[in-house]
Amino acid sequence: MDTASQVALFSLTAKSLSGWAFAAILGVTFMLGMMSTDGVNGLWVARLLARADRRALIASRVMGLSIAGLSLLVGSYGLARLLFPAFASPAPERELLLGCAAAAIVGLSFVIGLRLAPARAPQT
């Protein structure tokens, strides 16, 4: 429901600014982006749940901590942009770089979490 309300808000705003065609493209683009990221997240979670062992536990904790830390960093960056206007001026040139860095951090945390955990318990 949250995503549907965001698409509706984006579409109404875009329609008033650029017409219905741009609003439709914006809504579909947002929907496809949300579906793809939710799908990847679902695959990661399904893979971890299917393995319900110590390795999956450690990997999920590492990912959870990295996502929480990344969220705090993004919030701090937003706050810094509000409090320090000089810090915010070059922000549009860095948006794509910051988005790619955030996605890379999440992916890297998944790989690190899998590497930190032992592959299998030793057989006795």
User: What would the pLDDT profile of 83-114 be if each residue is shown by its tens digit?
Assistant: 887 766 666 677 788 888 888 888 888 788 77
Mean pLDDT in residue range 15-41: 80
Q: What does the mean pLDDT of the chain come to?
A: 77
Query: Taking the CA atoms of the chain, what radius of gyration do you get in angstroms?
Result: 19
pLDDT in tens, 2-16: 666 776 776 777 777
The counts of H helices and E strands in the chain are 5, 0
pLDDT value at position 42?
Answer: 83
Is there a contact between 21 and 85 (Cβ–Cβ < 8 Å)?
no
Tokens 């948006």 locate to 95
Kindly report the pTM of this predicted structure. 0.53
Is there a contact between 31 and 7 (Cβ–Cβ < 8 Å)?
yes
Percentage of residues in the chain having pLDDT higher than 70: 80
Residue type, 12: L
Is residue 122 scored above 70 in pLDDT?
no
The full set of domain ranges for the chain reads: 1-39, 51-124
pLDDT value at position 91?
Answer: 63
pLDDT value at position 119?
Answer: 60
